[in-house]
Structure 1
Amino acid sequence: MFLQKIKPFLYLGAFYLIISLIVRIVFLFHPITTASFGFFEVLKVLSIGIINDIFVFVLASIFLALYFLFLSNTKYKKPYGQIILGIFVLFFLYILVIPNNIFKQYGGSIAEVALAFIGLKTLFFAAMLFFPAQRIKIRNTLYFIVVFLYTTIIIFNAVSEYFFYNEFGLRYNFIAVDYLIYTNEVIGNIMESYPVIPLFLAISAVSLTITWIIFKRTKNELLDLPNLKQKFILLGSFIVLAGVSLLGLSFTTKITSPNVFAEEIEANGLPKFYWAFTHNELDYFQFYPKIDQKVAESNFLSQFSEPKLTRNIISDQPELKKNVVLISIESLSAEFMEHYGNTQKLTPFLDSLANHSIMFTNLYATGNRTVRGLEALTLCIPPTAGESIIKRQNNKNKFTTGSVFKSKGYDVKFLYGGYSYFDNMQDFFAGNGYGIVDRNNFKPEEISFANVWGVADEDMARKAIQVMNAEAKSGKPFFNHWMTVSNHRPFTYPDGRVDIPGNAKSREGGVKYTDYSLKLFFDMAKKQDWYKNTVFVIIADHCASSAGDTELPMDKYKIPALVYSDGFIQPQKFDQVMSQIDVMPTVFGLLNFNYQSKFLGQDVFKKEFQPKAYIATYQDLGFVKDNHLTVISPVRMIRQYSLKQKPSQLSPQFNIYYDENVLKEHNQKLVDETISAYQSTSYWIKNNNLNR
């Protein structure tokens, strides 16, 4: 009897386990999975994966359990049926008529969803109440819909996890949470990047087929509904299983592996999504290794000539009030440029410009998201655990590159081809004194091409020239920070600009088109009076991919950066290890600025500069120095790797790749430096010490 009543759970559970197993096998053989697995490691990954899936399915079955719990014929008898229907009608009217009902207070579309759900529930209940002869057919229809929703969600989740892994080499994380929040850009990106209609048709077809099979084999269970005693037994069993599943996941989700891909493949995406959703800011002092705060600050500040948080930067040369244009290029890995060994000629303009610039050849991004790159270039601080400061509530009135320029009388703006509300950029930059020029400022005739992320980079280049010409006429110097958008999936752009069609959705095409747009910008800029008095800083926000064998693969954080100014900057290569947070302090040094600084990056041309870099995910914080990578993680974990360069896969003479060999014995001095940097930064942010 018991097994008969849980047949729907068994069939759906078996289907979920099969789909999840297929996904794991696909991940094991996916090209992005660069790690190799032995037989026993594969067995471990699949075994832990199945256990995770069982636990997750039990918890996800709560809605199905509630559905069966409320199946009853008694509730349609007089007077219960009329009373229940009356309650449904009153509830429906409450949502429809009362302006400030509880659902509308939540905002968004919650009220509309609740109204539709209660409306359908009322309609079906009334049909089953007044047409008892059709009750079985109506109940079967509802049951079919419930099973169809479950099968569709199972398949859709599997497809979503595949595409997410294909893009990032990870299960769901903070990025997936952002995708849920910024639905317009994300859904638009998916619509433009993938064959959505065939995909949805295929998902629907498979879901309908599986639903029909499960429905045919289990629908007879609705003819003999469980009595109250049986329902209590079923409910008690489910509560016990749910408790075991929650307890089990608390253990299985903490199982670690030296191979990051193994950890991701054996995991289940839904618990990871939930964790990311509820932990957008990690308390460093709760989760990470610590030392005495004064010691940490002393260690960290010792790198500066004046070992204080607020330092006086004094130049022995006259200040230069040159315009500065900072261009953050979306997803431009170092390996795309010929200067780093690429032979595909993807960036002919940037490579030619690099020959006349200061080129930083050994520079590393702080993270793998645009907001991390913007944070590093604007605040010039190491990354902190959890979300970027740009995404946090306490993100205003900070000490920024913009605030330094404003103190010198500059006009300060942030330029972005998309809508700057995305990723909280508008809130952050406006809250820190930047003027904003984004897609809202474009007239229809100024847009030759746009996709979901924004106007094409060439359109933003024309708008930037227009903005800079207006600023130059005011008589004030200007600082403009331009964030490009075109080198992002779906990689669409106007046809005829480069030798890869604009609808090919090719990453190489996206790189080429951005390079084309930058050349267009410079060709226009050279004709302007302000050009000779302008310093151009060009740098990637992050790499195209961050997937690798370890939690922080060095190869995936190396980005190109150069500083160009016609007649001012003398070409040279700077080959020492440096961080994205060092770029703007270095630019201020080139301009001989005198200012009070709270930046935690260094001017790399000063004698006290220490070669180092900070690289991080949302929870793994890495410090690169002296050919070592030290990583600290939640639960006070510490790992350290020795770094050895190996020849580029693109061209043997360019060494931009690294072997990372885990060390059993740590270099304690570097461990202390790592903790000091991240602990001090976290403390200062928490206590608003980095505000203006």
Structure 2
Amino acid sequence: MTRLLGALARLRPVLGICALALLLLSLSRLGLAGWHHARVTAVDGWAPVLLQGLRVDIASVCLLFGPLAALLMLLPAGMFAWRAVRGVAVVWLVAGFTLLANLELATPGFMQEYGLRPNRLFIEYLVYPREVLSMLVGGRPLECIAVLVLTGLAAWGSARLVRRCWPPDDVPLPGLPVRAVLALLVLALAALGVRSTLGHRPMNPAMLAFSSDPTVNTLPLNSFYSLGDAVRGWLRHEDSAQALYGELPDAEVLATVRRDTGLPAAAFADPAIPTLAARTPTWQGRPKNLVIVLEESLGAQFIGSLGGRPLSPHYDTLSRQGWAFTHLYATGTRSVRGIEAVVAGFAPTPAQAVVKRQRSQHGFFTLAEVLRRRGYDTTFYYGGESHFDNMRGFFLGNGFGRVIEQRDYRNPTFVGAWGVSDEDLLARADSEFARLHAEGRPFFGFVFTSSNHDPFEFPEGRIAPYEQPLHTRDNAAKYADHALGGFFARAMASDYWRDTVFLVVADHDSRVFGRDLVPIDNFHIPGLILGGGIAPRRDDRIASQIDLGPTLLSLIGIGDATPMTGRDLSDPHISLPGRALMQYDRNFAWLQGEDVVVFQPDKPPSQYRYTPGTGVLRPTALSPALARQAHAQALWGSLAYDRGWYRLPSAR
């Protein structure tokens, strides 16, 4: 018995760290649940959050420290006494605990911005340390300092605990066969703890989801587990829609998607590119120029004419002079998601946006490729570094001939964490458009703003602040509107105005989160088409970002065949009900009228009634036909990407 107890004594440092980790994770979860106490209480969620949370925490510590416990059990006495062995064990335990602590400390800031625990987006941001560090240090300096200090304290405290718990080197031990059995038992218990179930599938986030509130559903997780699940799905390609939502026959998906374009079946004549179809453009004259201004994080909540705060006097004035969409919805919550929808007309998927995916870096459809083949100058205008989110690589590989970025501005009036100010960006774009027009060259300019991004840096003295201090989200939105107004004042006075169609649209809303599985109100964005020949109108139809590409080509007089599955909103013959599609992390929503069908991973679809502006989804009976339609649309993006269907025929 003494020898058996001696062997078990080797587990003291591991058990000590595990106990400390369980305490840390439980306290963090309790704090997060207390922060969202009204939402947790509204779904009777305290017991599921805390009890299921303990289950997740046990799985996490078993995964992190179980292998080390088995190794310590196996080591002979002489090797166990080596300083190197002790050093490796201390580093393993302290690093594991510090990682857990750091992720929990980073969680409140991430959750405040996105409404979820750290997920794949958290990992994607780590690829760009300079931009992200500039954003955090500039916008959240105290939070950064607190996270660093507390992470350091966690490392120091856990190291002291491990050293105090380390057993003496001379404790009596049983023979190797007994230690081997004990090590196997430890590994078996750790494996059972990681699986956390005797069922055929191990525990996963879908099993733990118990409410229609996505924020509450993430509370039982810890951030290490949440990130680990995101990485696992990424590496195993489980973020394809088919793997998450279930499959449908390809023929049914294609038939549904084609029908939703509003085009006749005869329009689709290329079996190699099954959605390739030509459209008769609305404008029948000489093709016009095209300018898209993609506004960073400018959701409807910042637009007075859409019922938001009074931060957009210039946009509101412009909306009375052009074609203003009142119920336009973004497809996602990231800039790259907005880019793929607006520039490529591509439907969202639960995977990364195609801007960053490997097989879409060349030969993937964009508006720029269509217009480049027509002899247009195709340029991406940005105030920051275009390598961020792989924008430069994607654009130059798919139809854009030039990229103008931060290094191309001489003596800008203001430079912040995300590059030059919107005024510098838009002034440069205006000068380029004027030059190209004077040279007689048609152009497509894609302009992506950045001033309305955390840490919300912009030049002083330009606006009357909406609030104090100056560098806040609302003031940045007001500055973005100021810069937009100046650009259009110059454009309307220019020679190129009458020959150009302009689109102003947001990439996504800011801080997208809510109580529903998909917070639809936070996908509501402004959209406005202006230019020579564009009559003022207010369009109250529900529309999606993927509809903008077909509509713009129609308005500038380009009828070339494209694989876009959105609708030409200028076509008077399309009488289908308005609809929008939205991807929120791994949930997909199909909005049609007041009906919303939501798909979650490994769960049956659910249906709700939605009233714009309320932010509430009310459960209702599932319509099998609508669910089938939504299912096909949810699968389309992944299917088209996997099969290489979203492209143009090779140029002849």
Question: Which sections of structure 2, spanning at least 5 residues, go unmatched?
Answer: 269-274
The corresponding residue for 2:441 is: 476
Judge conservation of contact 2:114–2:512 (CA < 8 Å) in 1: yes
Say yes or no: does 1:467 pair with 2:432: yes
Q: Distance in 2 between matches of 1:374 and 1:496?
A: 31
The corresponding residue for 1:278 is: 232
Say yes or no: does 1:49 pair with 2:53: yes
Judge conservation of contact 1:319–1:594 (CA < 8 Å) in 2: no
Q: Distance in 2 between matches of 1:18 and 1:485?
A: 41
Query: Aligned to 1:279, what secondary structure does the other structure show?
Result: helix
Q: Distance in 2 between matches of 1:142 and 1:499?
A: 58
What is the RMSD computed on CA atoms of the aligned residues?
3.0
Give the AA of the match of 1:626: G
Q: Distance in 2 between matches of 1:429 and 1:52?
A: 41
Judge conservation of contact 1:426–1:436 (CA < 8 Å) in 2: no
Say yes or no: does 1:292 pair with 2:257: no
Mapping for residues 79-158 of structure 1, pairs under 5 Å: 148-158=94-104
Give the AA of the match of 2:486: L
State the shift of 1:499 in Å. 3.8
The structure 2 residue matched to 1:8, chosen from 8, 13, 24, is 13
Change (3 A) 1:668 1:212: closer
The structure 1 residue matched to 2:607, chosen from 640, 643, 651, is 640
The structure 1 residue matched to 2:158, chosen from 204, 211, 214, is 211
Change (3 A) 1:355 1:26: farther
The corresponding residue for 2:263 is: 305
The structure 2 residue matched to 1:662, chosen from 619, 630, 636, is 619
Judge conservation of contact 1:411–1:477 (CA < 8 Å) in 2: yes
Query: Aligned to 1:29, what secondary structure does the other structure show?
Result: helix
Q: Distance in 1 between matches of 2:169 and 2:138?
A: 43
Q: Distance in 1 between matches of 2:182 and 2:14?
A: 12
Judge conservation of contact 1:579–1:613 (CA < 8 Å) in 2: yes
Judge conservation of contact 2:506–2:525 (CA < 8 Å) in 1: yes
Give the AA of the match of 2:263: S
Q: Distance in 2 between matches of 1:151 and 1:608?
A: 59
The corresponding residue for 2:272 is: none
Q: Distance in 2 between matches of 1:316 and 1:435?
A: 27
Change (3 A) 1:609 1:34: farther
If you compute each CA radius of gyration, which structure gives the higher value, 1 or 2? 1
Q: Distance in 1 between matches of 2:282 and 2:129?
A: 52
The one-character-per-residue Cα deviations of 1:487-531 (angstroms, maximum 9, x if unpaired) are 111222223333449985411122122122222323443453323
Identical positions, percent? 24
Query: Aligned to 1:179, what secondary structure does the other structure show?
Result: helix
Mapping for residues 172-191 of structure 1, pairs under 5 Å: 172-191=118-137
Number of residue pairs matched? 619
Judge conservation of contact 1:151–1:210 (CA < 8 Å) in 2: no
The one-character-per-residue Cα deviations of 1:249-302 (angstroms, maximum 9, x if unpaired) are 722532321232332101122232123223345333344333333233223322
Change (3 A) 1:60 1:444: farther
The corresponding residue for 1:248 is: 196
Give the AA of the match of 2:18: G
Mapping for residues 324-339 of structure 1, pairs under 5 Å: 324-339=290-305
Change (3 A) 1:58 1:316: closer
The one-character-per-residue Cα deviations of 1:641-675 (angstroms, maximum 9, x if unpaired) are 12234xxxxxxxxxx33431222x32122112112
Query: Aligned to 1:206, what secondary structure does the other structure show?
Result: helix
Name the TM-score, length of structure 2 as normaliser. Answer: 0.87
The corresponding residue for 1:121 is: none
The corresponding residue for 1:425 is: 391
Give the AA of the match of 1:486: S
The structure 2 residue matched to 1:365, chosen from 330, 335, 351, is 330
Q: Which segment is superposed worse, 207-216 or 473-482?
A: 207-216
Q: Distance in 2 between matches of 1:193 and 1:400?
A: 34
Say yes or no: does 1:536 pair with 2:502: yes
The corresponding residue for 1:261 is: 215
Name the TM-score, length of structure 1 as normaliser. Answer: 0.82
Q: Distance in 1 between matches of 2:595 and 2:165?
A: 59
The corresponding residue for 2:271 is: none
Query: Aligned to 2:359, what secondary structure does the other structure show?
Result: coil
Judge conservation of contact 1:377–1:581 (CA < 8 Å) in 2: yes
Judge conservation of contact 1:320–1:593 (CA < 8 Å) in 2: no
The corresponding residue for 1:568 is: 533
Q: Which segment is superposed worse, 466-475 or 506-515?
A: 466-475
Query: Aligned to 1:595, what secondary structure does the other structure show?
Result: coil
The corresponding residue for 2:352 is: 387
State the shift of 1:244 in Å. 0.7
Mapping for residues 208-247 of structure 1, pairs under 5 Å: 210-211=157-158, 214-215=161-162, 217-219=164-166, 221=168, 224=171, 229=176, 232=180, 235-247=183-195
Judge conservation of contact 2:208–2:220 (CA < 8 Å) in 1: no
Q: Distance in 2 between matches of 1:487 and 1:616?
A: 22
Give the AA of the match of 2:474: E
Say yes or no: does 1:18 pair with 2:49: no
The structure 1 residue matched to 2:112, chosen from 129, 150, 166, is 166
State the shift of 1:18 in Å. 2.0
Q: Distance in 2 between matches of 1:235 and 1:492?
A: 56
Judge conservation of contact 1:16–1:57 (CA < 8 Å) in 2: yes
Query: Aligned to 1:326, what secondary structure does the other structure show?
Result: strand
Q: Distance in 2 between matches of 1:150 and 1:623?
A: 41
